[in-house]
């Protein structure tokens, strides 16, 4: 099984996170989902990825797209 953190690290070290869109569970958002661009990620930590606004746990990620192609989805 491939985990979101593994996918994001592979993309990061393979050329960078620009062109990546991460969709995650965000209670209270439309359809309880929100999306963020890879350029907005400041750190890929052990259990969370970090944005300027805060941290998002990897277990909330439902889809990762790279250049419009889905590379991870639960």
Q: Judge whether 58 and 23 are in contact, CB under 8 Å.
A: no
Q: What are 34-72's pLDDT values in tens digits?
A: 999 999 999 999 999 999 999 999 999 999 999 999 999
Closest residue by Cα to residue 51 from 39, 64, 60, 59: 39
Length of the chain: 74
pLDDT at 29: 77
Bigger pLDDT: 29 vs 26: 26
pLDDT of residue 36: 97
Q: What is the pTM of this model?
A: 0.92
């Amino acid at each position: 099984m491939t985990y979101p953190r593994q996918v994001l690290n592979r993309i990061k070290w393979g050329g960078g996170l620009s062109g990546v869109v991460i969709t995650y569970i965000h209670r209270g958002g439309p359809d309880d989902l929100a999306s963020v661009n890879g350029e907005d990620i400041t750190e890929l930590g052990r259990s969370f990825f970090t944005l300027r606004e805060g941290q998002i746990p990897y277990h909330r990620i439902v889809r990762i797209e790279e250049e419009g192609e889905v590379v991870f989805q639960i």
